Amino acid sequence: MPVMYKGHKVVLKYQKPPIPTNKHDWVAYVDGCEEDGNYCYGPTADDALTELCDLLDEMYVDVPSDPL
């Protein structure tokens, strides 16, 4: 189920890995950027999406063009 966040197409997938916890049941990543390794996980789709949105916000902080 794709979602848009600040111009990025975000993919959310339910994966249920074979581990004894649900902390990694959902994964979120930017479509087309899988090789960058920016995957975020969570027990729910909302948690994984929130983690990815926070990561994207940190990665793309607006830097002023004139530092003076």
pLDDT digits 0-9 by tens, 2-56: 688 888 899 999 998 888 888 899 999 999 888 888 999 999 999 999 999 999 8
Residue 58 lies in a domain: no
| Rounded distance between C-alpha atoms, residue 3 and residue 30, angstroms | 9
| Rounded distance between C-alpha atoms, residue 58 and residue 17, angstroms | 28
- Identify the CA nearest to 41 among candidates 32, 31, 51: 51
Residue 61 lies in a domain: no
Residue 27 lies in a domain: yes
Structural domain harbouring 13: 2-44
Please state whether the predicted TM-score (pTM) of the whole model is above 0.75.
Answer: yes
| Rounded distance between C-alpha atoms, residue 12 and residue 34, angstroms | 12
Residue 25 lies in a domain: yes
Q: How many domains does the chain have?
A: 1
Residue 56 lies in a domain: no
